[in-house]
């Protein structure tokens, strides 16, 4: 798939504080090189980078409280990740309602990495490994800020 154009902005302090409360996070859980961001590539995500992969494996939350939080602040979902290596990330997508559109989340991440000057070109995203339903996506961004991102890979249907 090729995403819509990308955009990103800092999350409001109130949104971040509420997300931390719902997902039982605090500042110490955040990764040192990436900061939380609201990013979109057709569907908006609150991207939250973890310091370690352990944070992804132990994400538990009340789905109704999560949906209320994310719907009140407009993002469609939360995307938790941690850096696996220079060009690969582990990720989990917390989605309040409806289906899960993994490609849009991968494109939003790739576009934000490019637009913020952190990383351009190809990245790999391994999602839902800790849930027993791993998917591997590949996202490729061009150097043009805001430009669509190309995403490919294999996903699984979860019912």
Report how many domains make up the chain. Answer: 1
Q: What is the CATH number of the domain that holds 97?
A: 3.10.310.10
Q: Is residue 60 part of a domain?
A: yes
In eight-state DSSP terms, residue 2 is B
Rounded to an integer, what distance in angstroms lies between the CA atom of residue 39 and that of residue 77? Answer: 10
Q: Which domain holds residue 127?
A: 7-154
Rounded to an integer, what distance in angstroms lies between the CA atom of residue 15 and that of residue 155? Answer: 29
Q: Is residue 1 part of a domain?
A: no
Q: Is residue 111 part of a domain?
A: yes
Question: How far from the centroid of its chain's Cα atoms is residue 20's Cα?
Answer: 15
pLDDT value of residue 97: 47
Q: For the chain (length 159 residues), average pLDDT per consecutive 10? A: 91 85 80 88 86 69 72 74 92 64 83 95 88 86 96 72
pLDDT value of residue 80: 86
Strand-pairing partners, residue 45, are 39, 77
């Amino acid at each position: 798939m090729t995403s819509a154009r990308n955009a990103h902005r800092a999350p409001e302090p109130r949104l971040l504080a509420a997300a931390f409360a719902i997902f039982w996070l605090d500042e110490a859980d955040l990764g040192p090189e990436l900061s939380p961001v609201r990013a979109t590539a057709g569907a908006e995500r609150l991207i939250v980078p973890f310091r370690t992969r352990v944070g992804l494996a132990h994400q538990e939350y009340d789905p109704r409280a999560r949906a209320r939080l994310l719907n009140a602040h407009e993002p469609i979902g939360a995307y938790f990740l941690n850096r696996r290596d220079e060009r690969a990330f582990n990720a989990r997508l917390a989605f309040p309602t409806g289906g899960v559109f993994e490609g849009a989340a991968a494109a939003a991440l790739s576009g934000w990495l490019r637009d913020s000057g952190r990383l351009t070109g190809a990245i790999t995203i391994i999602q839902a490994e800790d849930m027993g339903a791993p998917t591997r996506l590949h996202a490729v961004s061009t150097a043009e800020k805001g430009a669509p991102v190309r995403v490919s890979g294999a996903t699984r249907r979860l019912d």
